Chain A
Amino acid sequence: MKKWLIYAILGMVTNGLTLFFAKIFLSYSGAYSLVFMQFLGGFLCVSAYILIKKSWKTMGLKEIALACSCGAFSSLGVTFFYLALNETLISVAAPIRGSGFLIFTSLLGVVFLKEKITLKKSIGLILAVLAIIFLTI
């Protein structure tokens, strides 16, 4: 099995578990508190990892700005998702976000990174749209 596939699957499982526990904690704390603690926990973990591994690498200003914009996008993305989670079932919100994310990132990859879109990928996108329709009607 290729390395990227192993990492993608591990990421998928840990993210699924995180979302599940996030849903449970949402009943005790608000969405913003949860997202803040999530990023704080993430920051502590990644800082510890970099210190232990000594994997720090300086970046140029442009790269720093791009990485910081990721912070803005991800904080907004996660916050809006948790706000949605407050109003609907996790079994509805999570699949819609997953399918939407899948389509949108694929489009970005095709349009801006010139990644190839095959017939199989096209079928996959259509099926994802069907999934969204079934989950929302």
Chain B
Amino acid sequence: MWQLYIFLAVLFMGFNSFIVKKLVKNVKPNVVMLYQFLLAAPLVLSYLFFSQGEFVFNPFLIFIGMGYFASLTCFYIALNKGSLTKAGPIWSLNLLITAVLGFIFLKEIIDLKIISGLFFGALSIYFLREEKK
């Protein structure tokens, strides 16, 4: 099931970046983000309502929002100044940071296959970010 979730996550996040790339030509990235969050927060609440999930309030979770804000701000500015095929792949490099942090602090197991995957992932990002000479 998690494979389907990942597929849908990639699909929606990809469309999101594409639209942002089109928008930030004329609009400031933070204004785009304001509208984005304005709609996204109530939408997530509605998903919670329909899935009959439990809402857990933890004020520390606001820090996740701050990190997300910082990350998206940088990414949208990068989209504004660079191309989608260059800024997108570099932003995707966060996978390495998350995986390494998960290994160091959460003691998650990283076997040879995952290491190979990470290696190919990093190498692919290197090739994708290369500028045309």
Interface residues of A (CB under 8 A from B): 2-5, 7-25, 28-47, 49-50, 53, 55-57, 59, 63-64, 66-81, 83-84, 86-102, 104-106, 108-110, 112-113, 115-118, 120-121, 123-128, 130-137
Q: Are B2 and A42 within 8 A (Cβ)?
A: no
Partner of B19, one of A66, A89, A101, A117: A66
A17-B67, A17-B101, A81-B9 given; A106·B120 CB < 8 A: no
A interface SS class: helix
- Per the bound structure, the CA–CA distance linking A106 and B18 in Å amounts to 9
Among B43, B65, B87, B95, max chain A CB count under 10 A is at: B95
Residue in B closest to A88 when the chains form the complex, CB atoms:
B2
Q: Are B18 and A77 within 8 A (Cβ)?
A: no
B interface SS class: helix
B3 to chain A, nearest CB (A): 7
28 contacts between A and B (CB under 8 A): A7-B74, A7-B75, A14-B70, A30-B55, A30-B56, A33-B57, A34-B64, A38-B61, A38-B64, A38-B65, A41-B66, A45-B70, A49-B73, A59-B27, A67-B23, A67-B31, A71-B35, A71-B38, A81-B9, A84-B9, A89-B102, A95-B121, A101-B10, A102-B89, A109-B88, A127-B120, A128-B124, A134-B116
Within 8 Å CB of A89, what residues of B?
102, 108-109
